[in-house]
């Protein structure tokens, strides 16, 4: 399976997916830390991919997504955005219902590494 196919599969399998540097509990950059904190504050499980452990994904995802930076939040197969957008949505109260409604539609989802 090539890298783009793997990315498509991860996005399809995980309804709430964060591509980030490090992990939610041990982020490796400030932007990833802030994005993961906002997601964790929503109180629902989400999957993540540590792009530092996956250099092929780190190289290919920006081209696939047409989004140059990390982190990247994907919800139900759609790119939501990066750190600034995630934080802005959280502060406006828009992220929480999106995450809660998505989690409610997919009750079997759990914390995972994609």
- CA within 13 Å, CB half, 51: 21
According to the model, what pLDDT value does residue 106 have? Answer: 84
According to the model, what pLDDT value does residue 70 have? Answer: 97
According to the model, what pLDDT value does residue 112 have? Answer: 61
Query: 67-114: per-residue pLDDT in tens?
Result: 999 999 999 999 999 999 999 999 999 999 999 999 999 876 555 666
pTM score > 0.85 for this model?
yes
According to the model, what pLDDT value does residue 94 have? Answer: 98
* Cα–Cα distance for residue pair 31/28, rounded to 1 Å: 9
Tracing tokens 């995450």 back to the chain, one arrives at: 99
- The total number of structural domains that make up the chain: 1
- Binding positions are 21, 29, 58, 70, 83-84
- Binding positions for glutathione are 21, 58, 70, 83-84
Query: 1-54: per-residue pLDDT in tens?
Result: 799 999 999 999 999 999 999 999 999 999 999 999 999 999 999 999 999 999
- Binding positions for [2Fe-2S] cluster are 29
Q: Give the DSSP per-residue string, 46-60.
A: -EEEETTS-HHHHHH
Rounded alpha-carbon distances, angstroms, from residue 97 to 11, 44, 114? 20, 11, 23
Task: Name the burial class of residue 77, with classes exposed (0-12), middle (13-18) and buried (19+) by CB atoms within 10 angstroms of its CB.
Answer: exposed
Q: The domain containing residue 68 runs over which residues?
A: 3-113
According to the model, what pLDDT value does residue 1 have? Answer: 78
b/e per residue, 21-39, with b = 16+ CB within 10 A?
bbbbeebeeebbbbbbebb
Domain with residue 7: its CATH number is 3.40.30.10
According to the model, what pLDDT value does residue 113 have? Answer: 64
According to the model, what pLDDT value does residue 107 have? Answer: 74
Cis peptide bond N-terminal to 71, omega within 30: yes
């Amino acid at each position: 399976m090539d890298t783009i196919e793997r990315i498509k599969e991860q996005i399809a399998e995980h309804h709430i997916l964060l591509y980030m540097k490090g992990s939610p509990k041990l982020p490796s950059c400030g932007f990833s830390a802030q994005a993961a904190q906002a997601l964790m504050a929503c109180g629902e499980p989400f999957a993540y991919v540590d792009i530092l452990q996956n250099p092929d994904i780190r190289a290919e995802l920006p081209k696939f997504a047409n989004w140059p930076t990390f982190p990247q939040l994907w919800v139900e197969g759609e790119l939501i955005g990066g750190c600034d957008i995630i934080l802005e949505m959280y502060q406006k109260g828009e992220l929480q219902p999106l995450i809660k409604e998505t989690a409610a539609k997919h009750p079997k989802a759990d914390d995972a590494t994609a």
